[in-house]
Amino acid sequence: MVKIITAAYIMIGDEILSGRTKDENLNFLAENLTKIGINLKEVRIVPDDEQQIIEAIQNLKNKYNYIFTTGGIGPTHDDITADSIAKALNKKLVINQKAKEILINHYGKDNINEALLKMAMMPQKVKLLENPIGAAPSFMVENIIVMAGIPKMMKLMFNSSLEFLDFGDKILSKELKLNVTESIIAKDLSDLQNKFPDVTIGSYPFIGGTSIVFRSFSKEDLDKCYDIISDKKYEQ
């Protein structure tokens, strides 16, 4: 039996949608989820808008094993992720005592203020995710992993979430590069795809050729598909 674990990713932030900020998190997350056998099935990017965050969480939460979010967990008024997620889950937003302690230890009793303590406001019953560089921890609540948008922090939080995640079987992949255009191999690929419905066959053109990516949980099927195409001698 193949163990399939799925995820969705909700990226939160006006700055991505306005073009001000170039995303640096998607590819990291996609690549690293694939590596640990978690199948990223969908991504949504929404603004710092409570209604849109709630809708995305409620739409996706029961559809996939895990939901990852980035963005909107800082100390300012536009950081509404924790609050919106609490609302989406019908949970109270409370001060997390452990997170508060971490913040006070980091900033010192004299420097702590309301804005900084806002970062300890979390839904009830969370698991904290460490943030060695920024002090303010993020959290996992139910099946939702809530991370910072700043790429360096996000990576650390992702790593610290791993201990709470159930990994699935890894999808294996094999890539074949041919020096012919897609249209020459299209018919054969289509026939092969019909014969092997459990292998995902992707065809990606590049200048001067086509890269074919076979993906499957079965090494046997993967090798068969790869060999069938690589044995043919295509000519442009």
Region from 84-92, 124-132, 158-166, 197-205 binding a second copy, contact rule CB under 8 A: 197-205
Answer yes or no: are the C-beta atoms of 42 and 174 closer than 8 Å.
no
Q: 161: how many CB neighbours lie within 10 A of its CB? A: 20
16's CB contacts (< 8 A; 6+ apart) are 23, 45, 71
- C-alpha–C-alpha distance, residues 92 and 86, integer Å: 6
SS3 assignment, position 210: strand
- Out of 65, 128, 130, 173, the only residue in the binding site for a second copy (CB under 8 A) is 173
- Residue 44 or 87 with smaller CB distance to a second copy: 44
Give Dmax over CA atoms of the chain in angstroms.
74
Using CB under 8 A, which residues numbered 110 to 169 contact a second copy? 113-116, 118, 150
Q: 150: how many CB neighbours lie within 10 A of its CB? A: 19
Using CB under 8 A, which residues numbered 80 to 109 contact a second copy? none
CB of 125 to a second copy, least distance (A): 26
Please list, residue by residue across 38-57, b when 16 or more beta carbons sit within 10 angstroms of its beta carbon and e when fewer do: bbbeebbbbbbeeebbbebb
- 40 interacts with a second copy by CB under 8 A: yes
- 19 interacts with a second copy by CB under 8 A: yes
CB of 40 to a second copy, least distance (A): 5
- 172 interacts with a second copy by CB under 8 A: no
- Residue 47 or 209 with smaller CB distance to a second copy: 47
Interaction site with a second copy (CB under 8 A) = 11, 14-23, 26-27, 29-34, 40-48, 52, 74-79, 113-116, 118, 150, 171, 173, 182-187, 189-190, 193, 200-205, 213, 215
